[in-house]
A = this chain, B = another copy of it.
């Protein structure tokens, strides 16, 4: 049974605090294993990749092929039903259009002191994209990770994916073709992340690594942060639905279950001002679960991590929503903008009764790679900026250095850095 709370109960603050601070992330101590894998791939390169792939994915890379050729991707795209190809293309186009607007502006101007100042954005040279194998091989995630890199102008996009027993999901290959992925390597796990970061004989190193993965993949990215750029530290998915009693309880139940079905560690929370509606949603969830092919996962997640919280008014729900800083926030009311104005921390917000979170997972356009585990307090969803970097620049002439140089000399001397002072002062007396 999910947690039931009422914000008017005397025990609420403590119970809500416990909910906010609950850690749903696996505590598995993978750190040492990952560290050993990274070290070995760095030292031994492709030999280590072949060995780990034999061990974990049960196939011989030399026999099955290290990379998947472009022809195989194109064949996969040609082989899927038209309706799916159309859906993937609609999604890809909408994602590209949304992300185009994220491209940053360069600046270059001379100020009143005669100093020319600016900033110039450029894409990274190469991005690596991790795509999980097996059950979590989602073509939608591939699009969400690859398209922002392409929009940023990244020239080389290298994908790695485990192919357990040599098998790969054709829908993923089709999505890779649509997204313009240039290379697909049949390696997965921490060893694939190491190969992308350090490079091997076959796989050239990349500058940024993105994409979801299991605990080993996530830990490998965390350990390599700084050697390469990474998208984010990702945790279990979560949704917070703020809904009044005017919603169809079946719709809201389906929205909650759309997170619960991802993983037993996922979290779905309903905040409502209507006790009868809360009961109706709970009943609808219980009714819908057995109808799902994902029932076992959805039930495990809902029972362990689901919550229904009753509040006197939905305005009073918003500080609770901000404390949870959810990955996904639905505002299922007639005037969602009034509540949205009170939102400080959320990865993505879904406004109104006709905007289920799942539409954003696939085809709406904004990225579905979003901060989890309260990280929306300080981080943002994946964007074009994750694949670009900014170079600031500066140019002074004799007059400009005359105007601002003396202050630099004073500060350098006060900081005890005489060569700093001298490099400016020599140009002042010229």
Which residues does A use to contact B, with CB under 8 Å? 83-84, 86-88, 90-91, 94, 97-98, 101-102, 107, 111, 113, 115-117, 119, 122, 124-125, 135, 138-140, 171, 207-208, 222, 225-226, 228-229, 232-233, 248, 250-251, 254-255, 257-258, 260-262, 288, 291-294, 298, 336, 340, 343-352, 354-367, 370-371, 375-381, 383, 385, 389-398, 400-401, 404-408, 410-412, 414-424, 426-427, 430
**Contacts A139-B411, A363-B408, A363-B411 given: A354-B207 contact, CB under 8 Å?**
no
Complex CA gap A103/B397 in Å reads: 28
| B261–A419 touching, CB < 8 Å | yes
| B288–A394 touching, CB < 8 Å | no
| A251–B377 touching, CB < 8 Å | no
Measured between C-beta atoms, what is the minimum distance from A200 to chain B in Å?
A: 15
| B419–A251 touching, CB < 8 Å | no
**Contacts A84-B414, A407-B362 given: A251-B98 contact, CB under 8 Å?**
no
Partner of A389, one of B377, B396, B415, B419: B377
Partner of A418, one of B294, B346, B361, B408: B294
Residues from chain B with Cβ under 8 Å of A140 in the complex: 411, 415
Partner of A423, one of B125, B258, B419: B258
**Contacts A354-B401, A393-B349, A407-B362 given: A261-B417 contact, CB under 8 Å?**
yes
| Further 20 A-B residue pairs, CB within 8 A, beyond A254-B426, A362-B407 | A84-B410, A84-B411, A94-B404, A115-B365, A116-B351, A122-B344, A254-B419, A254-B423, A257-B422, A261-B419, A298-B419, A348-B394, A358-B424, A359-B404, A361-B412, A364-B396, A364-B404, A367-B392, A380-B389, A385-B385
